Amino acid sequence: MIDPENMRELPDDFDIAPVRLTIDLQALADNWRDMAQRSGQARTAAVVKADAYGLGIEDCGTALYEAGARDFFVAVAQEGVTLRAYAPSARIFVLSGIWPGQERLFFENDLVPVLASEEQLAFWMSVVAEYGDYPCALQVDTGFNRLGLRLEDALALAGDVSRPASFSPVLVLSHLHSGDSPEAASNRTQLEAFRQVSAAFEGIDASLSASAGIFLGDDYHFDLTRPGIALYGGEAVDGSKPLRPVATAEARILQIREGREGETVSYGGTHRLLRPSRLAVASVGYADGYLRSLSGSGIPLRQQIASGAHGFVAGNRVPVVGRVTMDLTIFDVTDLPEGAVRVGDYVELFGSNVALDEIARAAGTIGYEMLTSLGLRYERRYLYAD
């Protein structure tokens, strides 16, 4: 029988994790301050939906609150309930609004529903008629054709003198559909439409811009901005330089194997070695959000995008070869000096050396999806703000 007391001390879980994720909360806080400065006279909220874009609403919410954020946006009520413990005096807006039966949840956790349809508006009117005045926000569609009242219906509501006095929105908001493309004419069209809304609801705060809209300038800032992806180190505007990277994902190398010229690599044999090669097999795959479309070959996307992703190890970029599988990905480390990479080393998947949006483009997607697709197997380490 093995005596546990005679066993050597176990290493830290992070140091031996198959996949691990470092979240720099100082960088997150600095990015929020940067966006607040860019927002000029407008207050700056923080969007922490989808578990703070996959990085952890508890720790990220705390860091943003301590940095000074006092307005937060979540997608669903349960996210707001979780956040409330970490942002005790913040206003927390729930973008999906409220459903019948959720009244107590909203009241007890001081959540602000964002009303986004005629049905939600009618239900909310009945709620405030029964319970009295309670804050809400009103979303108006200015051209997205997603959530929100139509412009004409919102303007009619603003001018309706018969609406209950207990209906008292604290915010009107809309969303740009092409804010990440500064040259898009639709940005100005939506801005002009939203100016009508803001004027109609005079005295009520207005919010149009998420991360991308903030970069469009003062005209788009109104009273409150809502940065999201920019806080987490992703590109807010197509092709722009992002703010500080926040997340670093790494995978442990399980094996380094020698491949002969002419042999194939991974499922389907879609990558054929053109030279004797050294291959590093890393413990990450699409179950970890390292998408199959990042494969070096063997998927339809490669007909449009010539090559797959790169990792970073021992000071060098190394390409993915063959198909990404559920739990494993293979990197070609042939060009690195002999002995530069060893079993147990970690290859950076994205972070300060491989930009989040670079790897997203290699996958045919965006940084948002890369972050929010992170799987459950990552051992996480948070670097706390000073």
What string of DSSP letters covers 245-308?
A: --EEEEEEEEEEEEE-TT-EESGGG-EE-SS-EEEEEES--GGGT--GGG-SSSSGGGGTSSS-
Contact 329, 272 (CB under 8 A): no
pLDDT, position 385: 64
Q: Is 351 left (phi over 0), alpha (psi -120 to 50) or beta?
A: left
How many other C-beta atoms lie within 10 A of the C-beta of residue 303? 7
* Torsion angles phi and psi, residue 35, rounded to 5: -70, -30
pLDDT (0 to 100) of residue 49: 98
**Ordered per-residue pLDDT tens for the chain, 386 residues:** 566 666 667 789 999 999 999 999 999 999 999 999 999 999 999 999 999 999 999 999 999 999 999 999 999 999 999 999 999 999 999 999 999 999 999 999 999 999 999 999 999 999 999 999 999 999 999 999 999 999 999 999 999 988 888 888 999 999 999 999 999 999 999 999 999 999 999 999 999 999 999 999 999 999 999 999 999 999 999 888 899 999 999 999 999 999 999 999 999 999 999 999 999 999 999 999 998 887 776 655 555 566 789 999 999 999 999 999 999 999 999 999 999 999 999 999 999 999 999 999 899 888 999 999 999 999 999 998 66
CATH topology of domain 39-232: TIM Barrel (3.20.20)
Task: In whole angstroms, give the CA distance from residue 202 to residue 307.
Answer: 53
Q: Please confirm, yes or no, whether 267 is among the known catalytic residues.
A: yes
Tell me which of 49, 53, 134, 368 is the catalytic residue.
49
Burial of residue 9 (CB within 10 Å: 0-12, 13-18, 19+) is exposed
The residue type found at 123 is F
Q: Is 166 exposed, middle or buried (0-12, 13-18, 19+ CB in 10 A)?
A: middle
Return the H-helix or E-strand segment holding 381: strand 379-383
Q: How far is CA 208 from CA 99, 233, 249, in A?
A: 24, 21, 32
The reported pLDDT for the residue numbered 115 is: 98
Between CA 156 and CA 327 the distance in angstroms is 55
Calculate the alpha carbon distances from 130 to 119, 123, 164, 283 in Å: 17, 11, 11, 56
Tokens 């006095």 belong to residue: 165
The amino acid occupying position 116 is A
- Where do the CATH 3.20.20.10 domains begin and end in the chain? 39-232
Of 131, 267, 290, 384, the active-site residue reads 267
pTM as predicted: 0.94
343: left (phi over 0), alpha (psi -120 to 50) or beta: beta
For the chain, the distance separating the N- and C-terminal CA atoms, rounded to the nearest angstrom, is 47
Residue 168 is predicted with a pLDDT of 87
Residue 14 and residue 346 in contact, taking contact as beta carbons nearer than 8 Å: no
346 is catalytic: no
> Which residue intervals of the chain are DSSP H helices?
13-16, 25-38, 49-53, 57-67, 77-84, 103-109, 118-131, 151-158, 185-200, 211-214, 356-362, 367-372
Please name the residue that has the structure tokens 């491949």: 259
Which backbone phi and psi does 98 adopt, to 5 degrees? Answer: -135, 145
β-bridge mates for residue 24, sequence order: 383
Beta bridge partners of 43: 224
Angle at 383 between CA 12 and CA 22, to 5 degrees: 65
According to CATH, the topology of domain 247-383 is: Lyase, Ornithine Decarboxylase; Chain A, domain 1 (2.40.37)
Domain with CATH 2.40.37.10 in the chain: 247-383
- The DSSP 8-state label assigned to residue 152 in this structure reads H
